[in-house]
Amino acid sequence: MNPYLKTATLVALTSAFPVSTALGAELSINLTLPRIQTAEYHRPYVAVWLESKDRKVVRDLALWYDTKMADDEGRTWLKDLRQWWRLSGRYQDIPADGVSSATRPVGKHTLDIPANAAALQNLPAGQYEVVVEAAREKGGRELIRLPLPWPVEKPVSQQQAGNHELGEVSLNANP
């Protein structure tokens, strides 16, 4: 094949598919774990996942739980993340590779998911929700949903405030 024709074909193909669609998007999820005035405070377990319109878990993004308890007892309490557990958790090997980590203290936390992260690879186009669920021993449980169109063609910014176990939760996605 003529080398000039190869170059012209390559240029035509790359301009036909926008980079944002080909490479996905970068997601940044900011969440606040509020200080709760109680005699016995325990750090919450938190699950973050992508859910389809028909309420099925598409990808798990993060799972924060007590990874240091003796005999891996922290896994026992994952079922307190009721929504996540019913949809995804009970079917998984825990700890989930690249997703599981220790609980976080009170304060603001950021979960950055780069465009090349496994959780975003080959994600079919459609409307999704980023779901954040928190549950705390001797505390409550709370769930927040933030809409996410995929692929991200223009910047997306969503936020919602929790009532007790979660503070401000925001989602920013850039093509």
**CB-hemisphere CA count at 13 Å for 58?**
22
The residue assigned the tokens 């405030």 is 161
Phi–psi pair at 90, nearest 5 degrees? -70, -15
pLDDT level of residue 72 (50, 70, 90 thresholds): low
Q: Range with the lowest mean pLDDT among 9-23, 26-40, 68-82, 103-117?
A: 9-23
pLDDT surpasses 90 at 75: no
- Residue 45's φ and ψ, nearest 5 degrees, are -85, 140
Where does the pLDDT of residue 3 fall: very low under 50, low under 70, confident under 90, or very high at 90 and above? very low
Domain ranges of the chain: 20-174
- For residue 89, the model assigns a pLDDT of 80
Q: Model confidence at 24, in pLDDT bands (50, 70, 90)?
A: low
pLDDT for res 67: 72
Kind plus residue range of the DSSP H or E element containing 60: strand 57-64
Question: Tens of pLDDT along 150-170?
Answer: 999 999 999 999 999 999 999
When pLDDT is averaged across residues 26-31 and rounded to a whole number, the result is 95
pTM for the structure as a whole: 0.81
Sequence-separated contacts (24+) of 66-74 with Cβ below 8 Å: 66/102, 66/103, 67/95, 67/100, 67/101, 67/102, 68/102
Enumerate the β-bridge partners of residue 31.
109, 169
Band of residue 146 on the pLDDT scale cut at 50, 70, 90:
very high
pLDDT for residue 46 is more than 60: yes
Alpha-carbon distance of 78 to 64, in angstroms, equals: 9
